[in-house]
Amino acid sequence: MESLVCICGAGTMGRGIALAAASQGISVILYDLDPETIHSATSAIKKELELLTGKKQTPAEEKENILRRITFTSLISDCRAPLIIEAILEKTEAKSALFLELARINNDETLFVTNTSSLSVTRIAGQTPFPERIAGLHFFNPANRMKLVEIIRTKYISEYVLQRIIAFAGQLGKTAVVCRDAPGFIVNHVARPFYLEALRLAETGTADRTTIDKLMESAGFKMGPFHLMDLIGNDINYTVSCSLYEALGRPDRLKPSALQEAMVQRGELGKKTGSGFFQYTKPVSE
Ligand SMILES: NC(=O)c1ccc[n+]([C@@H]2O[C@H](COP(=O)([O-])OP(=O)(O)OC[C@H]3O[C@@H](n4cnc5c(N)ncnc54)[C@H](O)[C@@H]3O)[C@@H](O)[C@H]2O)c1
């Protein structure tokens, strides 16, 4: 059982993972190199806890305990823990470099987990001298609410590490599926046409984004593709499309969308920036 974890990156995913762990009694070090992000993560976690206690999904008396378990920091020197989870930007080199830096201030037993959506965990691990201690643990957004996690097993991982990550997912109350390292793992592979075909319908003027979302929601999907892309972040969603497209040999059917690329360039990232396929009010505290 884990009693302390460090989460690197306090953006959309890192803050949700921190809340998931702290809610299960685990102490959390939540680190981001950007002090502003640490500030907004603190407000966002408090706000989510208010919401959960309001809905009686978290007992009111637990709120302060959960918050107390999280240490917010913008100092990498604070990142010492037996299990480190990274949720930083979606770039192989950045992720491996962070693991190498963290290995210098941790010990030979520390396990490293990447929350990558689409990058090769084998490549990230292969760029370090300790690949057997690295696994993929892919959470879904919002990470404190979504039950599913994908555990990605590379050719290097030791059985002990794999079992510890499976046990950690259980400790978080998640439903874990283990899969081999492959482009997009399971969910992002299966779901890619959901986004790309919707984008193509909008680009060709077949139907507008509101109509497409309404139709998909009426058909039983919890969220239409455009609202979901805004929730994920258009930058993340577009990067995932690009990495799958490249990894699978650039098939036409998986060509990333020019419309979404232009939105990313304009900073229309979705909920997190207040503007995406739809408009959102940004919380004052953030
Ligand atoms: N957004 C999603 O729905 C989703 C779902 C599953 C997995 N993921 C993956 O999780 C990771 C993070 O995604 P996100 O949506 O939270 O992104 P985000 O842009 O919201 O947050 C990333 C954070 O990482 C910080 N950061 C960047 N480099 C850093 C470094 N070297 N050290 C410490 N902090 C650093 C940034 O300041 C930023 O706050 C990505 O790999 C993404 O593919 C995202």
Asked if residue 275 belongs to a domain, the reply is no
**Do 176 and 193 reside in the same domain of the chain?**
no
Instruction: Residue 68: give the domain boundaries.
Output: 4-180
Atom of ligand 1 nearest to the CA of 10: 39
Domain count, the chain: 2
Cα 8 to ligand 1 centre (Å):
9
Residue 13 Cβ inside 6 Å of ligand 1? The answer reads yes
If asked whether residues 61 and 174 sit together in one domain, one would say: yes
pLDDT (0 to 100) of residue 88: 98
Residues 175 and 231 in one domain: no
pLDDT (0 to 100) of residue 176:
98
Q: What is the reported pLDDT for 281?
A: 86
Ligand 1 contacts CB of residue 12 (under 6 A)? yes
Q: Which residues are catalytic?
A: 117, 138, 150, 188
pLDDT, position 186? 97
* 146 and 37 part of one domain: yes
* 242 Cα–ligand 1 center, Å: 16
Amino acid in the structure at residue 23 = S
Q: Domain holding 253: CATH number?
A: 1.10.1040.50
Our answer on whether the CB atom of 94 is closer than 6 Å to any ligand 1 atom is yes
CA angle 267, 29, 157 (to 5 degrees): 90
Q: Does ligand 1 come within 6 angstroms of the Cβ of 141?
A: yes
Residue 271: inside a domain, yes or no?
no
Cβ 78 vs Cβ 33: under 8 Å: no
Beta bridge partners of 184: none
Mean pLDDT score of the chain: 96
Task: Tell the residue number behind the tokens 């984008």, with chain if given.
Answer: 199
Query: Which residues of the chain fall below pLDDT 70?
Result: 282-286
pTM passes above 0.85? yes
Please indicate, yes or no, if residue 284 is contained in any of the structural domains: no
| CA separation for the pair 50, 66 (Å, rounded) | 12
CB 43 within 8 A of CB 49: no
Q: What is the pLDDT of residues 67-118, one digit of tens each?
A: 999 999 999 999 999 999 999 999 999 999 999 999 999 999 999 999 999 9
* Ligand 1: centre distance to CA 241 (Å): 16
Q: Is 143 in the pocket of ligand 1 (CB under 6 A)?
A: no
pLDDT at res. 284: 46
- Based on the fold, state whether residues 111 and 22 are members of the same structural domain: yes
Residue in the block written with tokens 């990058």: 119
> What is the reported pLDDT for 285?
46
Give the domain-ending residue among 134, 152, 180.
180
- CATH assignment at residue 119: 3.40.50.720
d(CA 53, CA 23): 12
Domain assignment present for 274: no
HEC profile of 46-65: HHHHHHHHHCCCCCHHHHHH
How far apart are alpha carbons 44 and 61 in whole angstroms? 19
**109 and 201, same domain (yes or no):** no
Ligand 1: which of 77, 88, 124, 234 to mutate, most ligand atoms within 8 Å of CB?
Answer: 88
Q: Whose Cα sits closest to atom 40 in ligand 1?
A: 90
